Amino acid sequence: MNKALLIAMALALGGCATTSCDEPWSGASCRADRLLYQNDLLQAKILIAAGQEEGYELAHVLLERSAPQDRRGEIEFYQALLLIRQGPEPSEVLRLLEKAGKKGHPHAIALLYKIHQEPYLIEARDLDKADAYRQAYTELDVAQSGYPSFEKALALVSELVEPPPPSASYAPRCPHYCRQE
């Protein structure tokens, strides 16, 4: 009895002594890795969403560097989006989305649904697969909590795969007093 109590106390106190990688300013060695992962992923998302080809190489490198820390399928999802933007290779896009879907990434599952429902990137519709992805989405934790809803996830991925509008050249606005008269 005393041994069991001693082991339970040691485990409980050991949990108190560890710091979380998500705790700001924790000093945990994993915190820096976590912050760099989040930064790399954010930068890659921005580069992909911007739709400018000169940023795709950097986005690819950032995603590759972040891949070892990804547990939720985000890297594979954004790698698939990057491939779609670069001129899709459907088999590789599907492989990456399947991998992300198995990790429970809701947007990957919504995009797989879109691919098989419309069809998008493939030759023919596959309603059985589309229905299976729709069902798989309902089983995700985020779907059961209602955020994001399947319809919102589908709308988001539809926007992500559309090429962005051409960017207008930047012309800074000059207040009336800086204009030469």
- pLDDT for 128 beyond 60: yes
Task: State the fold for domain 31-163.
Answer: 1.25.40
Residue 96's pLDDT is what? 97
Domain ranges of the chain: 31-163
Q: State the Cα–Cα distance between residues 23 and 33, nearest whole angstrom.
A: 13
What is the per-residue pLDDT across 21-79, written as a single tens digit (0 to 9) for each?
667 776 677 888 889 999 999 999 999 998 889 999 999 999 999 999 999 999 999 99
Q: State the Cα–Cα distance between residues 108 and 97, nearest whole angstrom.
A: 5
**Cβ(75)–Cβ(63) below 8 Å:** yes
User: Model pTM?
Assistant: 0.77
Residue 167's pLDDT is what? 65
Residue of 64, 142, 132 whose CA lies nearest to 103: 142
What is the per-residue pLDDT across 3-28, written as a single tens digit (0 to 9) for each?
543 344 444 444 444 456 667 776 67
